[in-house]
Chain A
Amino acid sequence: MGEMQLMRGNEAIAESAIRAGCKNYFAYPITPQAELLQWMAVHMPEVEGGTFLQAESEIGAINMVYGAASAGERTMTSSSSPGISLKQEGISYLAGANLPAVIVNIMRGGPGLGNIQPAQGDYFQATKGGGHGDYHTITLAPSTVPEAAQLTYDAFDLADKYRTPVTVLADGMIGQMMEPVELPERKDREEIPQKPWATTGAQGRKGNVIKSFALGGEDLKAMNLARFERYEEIKKKEVRSEEVNVEGSEVVIAAFGTVARIVKSTIRLAQEDGLKIGLFRPITVWPFPGEQLNELSKRVDTVLTVEMNSGQMVEDVRLSVKSGTETPFYGEVGGVVPTPGGILEEVKQYV
């Protein structure tokens, strides 16, 4: 591991992607992820064979990713909420064609133009497919800048291992803020898996075809069933979550990303007031750590979900907890970030 650096989330994600072996990055400017693009513009050309290309549109960018992924290279695009909406067609095609790629969403307020403040309104879009058809993307939700760097690094391995697009779901706060980061080591070319399925020119083999298309119903069914078999494997092996201060707590807050780190401050504030509360933090929001939450819910009375939206992850929480668990919700919307004190006031209703 290297030395500690003070970096913005956007910059740490970009540099971490380069260290994970990302060689082809395509994107379009949008606040609050612009520093990611700017970092890539400076540093991707320093990578041997590296491509930085500012695309004509978000649609252009995700399709360039589709092309580079087809050609077997590690590739990434990044954007913020409105731009991610534009990419959904391409993400559906990536999923349908079983292509590995990394998509970073630095979420902002919506719907529509919304604003540029931090928000979590894209949870449904990220975890339930997002585009047309029947698919998921592995979705990783970092809570700090160092974790954003690490999860971006891991995202490339997961994408290659399961031949699926992977979303890193952060928000404007994590993208904009600076924290000390110890960046992961730069991967050697040999550490990146070979891709015999890629379209690299049919030298000494039959032609490879990358497509999401199958005209016959049975053929498409087989493609979809194979994909969902992989999803089952992902659910078994790749679920990640964190529990903080849950032992002996009657109330546990379920939160992801930025909200989860704020809840850590709330836990300390509560201790000063003599209250004990816990945190359950999904790190993979797809697959959602439902079994872990179910186990935890057997030991608590209330799981309060806090999000920067009007109630999205709370649906997965309610599907996961044991019957009889109280599952209230507290949300801030419009780019307003909940404060440690605001969350504490909410919690006090349930303790």
Chain B
Amino acid sequence: MEDYSTVISGFGGQGVILAGKILARTGMETGFQVTWLPSYGPEMRGGTANCTAIISSELIGSPIVDNPSALIAMNPPSLDKFKGTVGEDGLIVVNTSLVDEPEERDNVTVAGVPLNEIAQEIGNQKAINMVALGAWAKFTEGIDLEDVVRGMELTLTDMGKERFIESNGEALKRGYGYIK
């Protein structure tokens, strides 16, 4: 498979950090090398938060990449900040509930997903991060939706938040299904 280096970025409270942890856990449980690195400190307090999750079949040197293979942009500043960094043949999942879909770039796939509306439809406004991960999983090879669901279940179980597993699973599926 390809290496997946994914930057997830959004407002504090949009579940950016958790989404990254779930990606890393998914990769680990599926038998890959993984790293997860958050932005930290004052940035986390109300501003834009981001993290980088890398899933690779090889040993991971740098947990920071110059050109990620994917960007999940949950709000406008995130798209502005990172859209130019996405590498060749990369993917941008963008939250069209809050952001205008960017122009297509050569060799970059843009997937606009109304994260907030979909999350609202299933009655869990906090699950926008899961809708985004579901959409992301549509484009990956070697990692299936079921792997992400399992990564989510294990992560939430470790956190003692089993009660959110069902609705988060639904959100993942809705995000995955939105991409045609």
Asked if A and B touch directly (CB within 8 angstroms), the answer is yes
Which residue numbers of A lie inside 8 Å of B, CB to CB?
A: 4, 6, 31-32, 116, 172-173, 176-180, 261-268, 337, 339-341
Q: Is the CB of B62 within 8 A of A6?
A: no
Q: A6-B34, A172-B40 are in contact. Are A177 and B28 (CB under 8 A)?
A: no
Q: Is the CB of A261 within 8 A of B61?
A: yes
A–B complex contacts, Cβ < 8 Å, 11 sampled:
A177-B35, A178-B24, A179-B35, A180-B33, A264-B59, A264-B61, A265-B60, A267-B61, A268-B61, A339-B65, A340-B66
Chain B 63-88 against A: per-residue CB contact (8 Å), 1 yes, 0 no?
Answer: 11110000000000000000000000
7 tightest Cβ-Cβ pairs between the two chains A and B:
A265-B61, A264-B61, A178-B36, A262-B62, A177-B37, A116-B41, A265-B62
Task: Give every chain A residue within 8 A of B65 (Cβ-Cβ).
Answer: 339
Which residue numbers of B lie inside 8 Å of A, CB to CB?
A: 21, 24-25, 28, 33-38, 40-42, 58-66
Q: Is the CB of B36 within 8 A of A31?
A: no
Instruction: Add 7 more A-B contacts to A6-B28, A266-B61, A341-B66 (CB < 8 A).
Output: A6-B21, A6-B36, A176-B37, A177-B36, A178-B21, A179-B34, A340-B61
Task: Give every chain A residue within 8 A of B21 (Cβ-Cβ).
Answer: 6, 178
A261 CA to B54 CA, complexed, in Å: 14
Residue of B nearest to A266 (CB): B61
Q: How many A-B residue pairs have CB under 8 A?
A: 64
A179 CA to B60 CA, complexed, in Å: 10
Main secondary structure of the interface of B (DSSP, over half): mixed
A339 CA to B28 CA, complexed, in Å: 24
A267 CA to B60 CA, complexed, in Å: 12
Residue of A nearest to B20 (CB): A178
Q: A6-B28, A116-B41 are in contact. Are A178 and B35 (CB under 8 A)?
A: yes
Q: Is the CB of B28 within 8 A of A180?
A: yes
